[in-house]
Amino acid sequence: MRNRNIDIFISGAGPAGLLASLSFASLGYSVFCVDPKKPVTQSNEDGADLRTTAFLQPAKTFMASLGLWEKLEPFAIPMEIMRIIDSEGDNWPPRETTAKDFLASEISDLPFGWNIPNWLLRRTLLENAMEYSNLELKFGLTTSSIIRRDDAAFVYLNDGSQIKSKLIIGADGRGSLVRDKSQIKISKREFSQKALTFIVTHERPHKNASIEIHRSGGPFTFVPLADFEGKPCSSVVWMDSNKNVKRLLTLKTKEFEEEANNRSCMHLGKLRVISEISDWPIISQLAKQLTAKRTALIAEAAHVLPPIGAQGLNMSLADIKSLHELAKSPSRLSNINEILSKYEQSRNLDIKTRVLGINALNEVSKSSISVAQKSRTLGINFLHSSPKIRHRLMQLGLGFKEPN
């Protein structure tokens, strides 16, 4: 590949990297995005990401502004109810002790969010990228080294080519090469947990509800999907201790389904697993800073948190939107230092607050200590009992800084 001179270089072509690429291409910037692997865009292919992403209201609005939402909407399942359930910690199988519904209709005419399979999201983003002549995607490439100067940054790729760029964006995940080569340190916390992700059919309809069933070890979460072969269907995220996840992964399908049925308190009736089962380590990770010279970190290169409350990719979209708005300025990228400074200021507090909040929720959720279990139940009842607190909590969860 010949050497290139472009406006923005993006390392990483996962959902966040592709969304960032489309965002800046829509503003007229020349964008060059690389990734070691080509995204898998079919659910039955090896390596398919069978997780789903719940796009909250602000994320949907931003994606609509990029012309993306109209292509995703036919596949998006609305989430109109968030049901929080606590279950008995010491008994097996567990039983429901507290269940409270948080209704989107109390704060908005719209659902909390819309759930979309990740493999389908990747396919749509790749298809949309083909429409931009100023956006180039290259797969099988990684960043070897970076040199930053006052007038430009130079990225050297593993095929020996050189990219001259005004701005580098690290969207290359929790093990970000861009972050490492920018000498940005991280704080990391491990929870001795993993998340199992898979898709199930169930006897009872989900009625567009996202359902979190809490118990020591971590929550068992249903996220609504479209019916499968005429049966109600949901994506499941099952968080539990490393030890128990290791045991669960050794089970045969029928044995695993029995465990899942018990853990779900049969809330949606009998479950049948219809996909592969994937496991993911649960960590919390925070970059000490979001920027370096001519460089910005977004998404998991900047922040990683447990999969609670649909915060992950929605926080990433907030990163992208912030940079997008700053890059709209008449000066474009001529004053890159000011853009990066404002980006750091605009995102730093929100990221830290959400990471700390989700970490605390996860600790309480997974705890086997009786005091923490009682606190869970009391907390759910308290938050639900006050309309003012309940409404504000829902607005904060959606990403609204001020009450609507």
The pLDDT value recorded for residue 38 is: 87
> Across residues 121-134, what is the average pLDDT?
95
Say which CATH topology domain 70-116+191-282+369-398 has: D-Amino Acid Oxidase; Chain A, domain 2 (3.30.9)
The residue ranking higher by pLDDT, 364 or 193, is 193
Amino acid residing at 170: G
H/E stretch holding 71? helix 69-72
301 near 315, Cβ under 8 Å?
no
The pLDDT value recorded for residue 238 is: 96
Judged against a pLDDT cut of 80, whether residue 237 lies above it is answered with yes
Query: Would you give the DSSP letter of residue 152?
Result: -
Counting residues of the chain whose pLDDT is more than 70, the rounded percentage is 88
Task: Return the minimum-mean-pLDDT range out of 133-137, 165-169, 178-182, 275-279.
Answer: 275-279
Task: Give the whole-angstrom CA distance, residue 342 versus residue 7.
Answer: 19
Amino acid residing at 134: N
Judged against a pLDDT cut of 70, whether residue 277 lies above it is answered with yes
> Across residues 326-331, what is the average pLDDT?
83
Judged against a pLDDT cut of 80, whether residue 91 lies above it is answered with no
The pLDDT value recorded for residue 256 is: 98
Domain boundaries, given as residue ranges, for the chain: 4-47+118-188+285-365, 70-116+191-282+369-398
Task: Give the whole-angstrom CA distance, residue 246 versus residue 240.
Answer: 10
pLDDT grade, residue 285 (50/70/90)? very high
The residue ranking higher by pLDDT, 210 or 394, is 210
The pLDDT value recorded for residue 294 is: 98
The residue ranking higher by pLDDT, 388 or 269, is 269
Which candidate, 214, 64, 404, places its Cα nearest to that of 396?
Answer: 404
CATH superfamily of 4-47+118-188+285-365: FAD/NAD(P)-binding domain (3.50.50.60)
Length of the chain: 404
> Across residues 168-196, what is the average pLDDT?
96
The pLDDT value recorded for residue 396 is: 58
Task: Give the whole-angstrom CA distance, residue 257 versus residue 253.
Answer: 6
H/E stretch holding 120? helix 118-129
Q: What is the mean pLDDT of the chain?
A: 89
The pLDDT value recorded for residue 215 is: 86
The pLDDT value recorded for residue 383 is: 54
> Across residues 149-160, what is the average pLDDT?
94
The pLDDT value recorded for residue 379 is: 60
pLDDT grade, residue 339 (50/70/90)? very high
3 state SS of 77: strand
> Across residues 43-62, what is the average pLDDT?
84
6-19: pLDDT as tens digits: 999 999 999 999 99
Q: How many CB atoms lie within 10 A of CB 187?
A: 10
Q: What b/e string do you get for 117-154 counting C-beta neighbours within 10 Å, with b at 16 or more?
A: bbbbbbbbbeebbeebeebbbbeebebeebebeeeebb
